[in-house]
Amino acid sequence: MGRLLVLILIVVVAVWLVKRALAGGKRSDVAQKPPVDGDLVSCARCGVHLPRIEARAGGERLYCSDEHARLGPARAPQER
Ligand SMILES: [Zn+2]
């Protein structure tokens, strides 16, 4: 009988710890992600999203890196 009580107690404590961890995790996730300053733009070459202030301009388009600005925009998907 004593073992059963100990087992139940362990299960209850484990469930409580998991619930507390899940609730706390949600709150800290929101707090740890700072809002992004400015608009997000997508690279014309690879499509990755980045803040406009970090983007490189190449012609009329924006790119994630100097390399992609040099390579130019990705080719349009081929028509079948
Ligand atoms: Zn890119």
Q: What is the pLDDT of residues 9-22, one digit of tens each?
A: 999 999 999 999 88
Q: Can you tell me the mean pLDDT for 20-29?
A: 72
Residue 34 in this model has a pLDDT that exceeds 70? no
Distance 49 CA to ligand 1 centre (A): 9
Nearest to 57 by CA among 78, 46, 41: 41
Whole-angstrom distance, CA of residue 59 vs CA of residue 57: 6
Distance 57 CA to ligand 1 centre (A): 11
Distance 72 CA to ligand 1 centre (A): 9
What was the pLDDT predicted at 25? Answer: 63
- Do 69 and 78 touch, CB atoms closer than 8 A? no
Confidence of residue 27 (pLDDT cuts 50, 70, 90): low
Confidence of residue 39 (pLDDT cuts 50, 70, 90): confident
Q: Say if residue 45 is exposed, middle or buried (CB neighbours under 10 Å; 0-12, 13-18, 19+).
A: buried
Distance 78 CA to ligand 1 centre (A): 20
- Do 64 and 43 touch, CB atoms closer than 8 A? yes
